Structure formats: C-alpha cells, structure tokens
Amino acid sequence: MRDCCLPVHRNLRSRRSAGRGKRLTASPVKRFALDRGIEVLQPATLKDPDTVEQIAGFNPDILVVAAYGLILPQSVLDVPAKGCLNVHASLLPRWRGAAPIQAAILAGDAQTGVSLMAMTAGLDCGPVYVEEALAIGAEETAGELHDRLAALGGEMLVGHLEAILSGALEAVAQDDTQATYAGKISKQDARLDWQQPAEDLHREVRAYNPVPGAFFLLDDTPVKCWRASVVTGATGAPGEVLSAGRDGIVVACGQDALHLDSLQRPGKRPVTAAEFAGSVAMTGRRLG
C-alpha cells in the first residue's frame, strides 16, 4: 500500500494566490506531503472512473476526510477496506453540513466539538466512533475556533485511528431526529441588519471572521467589521450612530447597541474604530 494525499479544503483550496504577483502556491498540506515523498492527487471531481481507479490503485485500508471540498460518491466510499472516515467539526447530529463552526457561533451554542464519523452516502449522517467537546469562547471568532478544532481533530485522529482500523472502536448510529443543518454561507449572509438585536449581530461578526467578513454599507460602500461588542441599555433608531470617537463607534440596533471595534474599507487595512471615526464623520449618521 502506498501513501496518498488528496488536499482540498472548502474555503482555502490546495493552491492559492500569494504576494503582490498573485502567484499560485501549494497549501501547507501539499508541501508537507511532497517533502516526505507522499504522492499528491488533486482531482477536480471524484466522479471520473479513471480517478476512482487511481485511488483504488493505492489499495487503501481507510480514507480520511477533513473539510474536504468534494462529495465522495459511492464508488469512492466502497474503495477502502475499512471505509471512509470524516473528521467533522461539530457534535453530530448537531450541525451537519458545510459550515458547522459558523452555525454553532450564530446559534449561540455554549459548546461544539469534533466527531470522527464513518462516512455514508448521506450528508454527515453516518455513525460516529467518538466525539469530544470544546467550550466556545464568548468573544471567539470562527477562525480562532477553527484552529482549536483542527488541533483537537488531529489529536483525536492520532489517538483513535488504530482502534477504528482494528475494529476495537465501534461506531454508534446518530439520532436523526436531533439533526440540525449548517448550509453554505454567502457574502450577502454577512451583511449586518441593524433591525436585529445587538447580541445577534455580535455573533455574526464573530461567525463571519475571517470569511466572508461581516459588513455594513456606508454611502453604498461596504465596510467590514472584524471585532465588536454589545452595549446593553443603549437605545436609538436601528442603524443610528450613537457615538463615534476615541472610544470607538456605537450603533443602535433593534435591541441594545453594537460597539464597533475593528473596521476595514475596501482596499484598505483594518483599523480600530477610533481611527476610522477620526477619518470619517460618523456621529448622528444612519447606517443602512
């Protein structure tokens, strides 16, 4: 059996533009594999019979998937002797689907975690071998939570893979009646609606950091908000800028207000809200 790696990620593809020249560079996963003489495949689709045959040629005991960007058809699921294993960033059956980390933050969940799941043809509905929970920090962003979950997933994989391969660890069926779904996120999902409670908008700012970035419109220009906090008891018309200065920018919401801490205009670097207020007249304005 030969070692093989198929690096694709939902958000950061295996090649990405880097530097001023925007040249394509290999992902860390690909570089790690190539440095160790591990063959790398980068199929555009797994539905091609030739690709399936190529994967089968490695005679794999198991296929391990983590945030993989392609659907595995039954022809691929049937290849490995011990099946396919998904390292999924939620406590299944909660938050099946494409964006479980963002969904957990948006819902105000106190915790999330990682599930090692035996893959089936359905969407994240296979039986689960083991799962471990992590508390979600009150100010934690999706990017920060992603990194902690990635580390946990790696530890779990190393710790349990042998038991899965040997049959010592048995997978348990999910309770489908408890399933919730985390659909794909669009840029428009990340637009802040000031009619909503400030607590909800605070979660959106955290959930959409770093991708796609929560934003609001200022004179038809999208301004991204990377950090914010809730100001309880503050009142005003939704979208009204209640204050703007060296202490930051406070915007009234449907309930309470949102204190904007870090902002970014298109083509500019992120700045503190205090810096932003020093260059743009904000007090008394009504944001759309």
**pLDDT tens over the chain, length 288 residues:** 455 666 543 433 334 455 555 677 888 889 999 999 999 999 989 999 999 999 999 999 999 999 887 889 999 999 999 999 999 999 999 999 999 999 999 999 999 999 999 999 999 999 999 999 999 999 999 999 999 999 999 999 999 999 999 999 999 999 999 999 999 999 999 999 999 999 999 999 999 999 999 999 999 999 999 999 999 999 999 999 999 999 999 999 999 999 999 999 999 999 999 999 999 999 889 997
**43-182 and 187-279 have identical folds:** no
* Tally of CA atoms within 13 A in the half-sphere of 8 that contains its CB: 14
Distance, first Cα to last Cα, the chain? 59
**Element holding 34 (H helix, E strand):** helix 28-35
Q: Where in the chain are the domains?
A: 43-182, 187-279
Topology (CATH) of 43-182: Rossmann fold (3.40.50)
Taking residue 131's Cβ as centre, other Cβ atoms within 10 Å add up to: 16
The dihedral over CA atoms of 154, 156, 161, 162, expressed in degrees to the nearest 10, equals 120
Q: Which CATH number fits domain 187-279: 3.10.25.10, 3.40.50.150, 3.40.50.720, 3.40.50.300?
A: 3.10.25.10
Taking residue 73's Cβ as centre, other Cβ atoms within 10 Å add up to: 14
Predicted TM-score (pTM) of this structure: 0.91
**Three-state DSSP state, 16:** strand
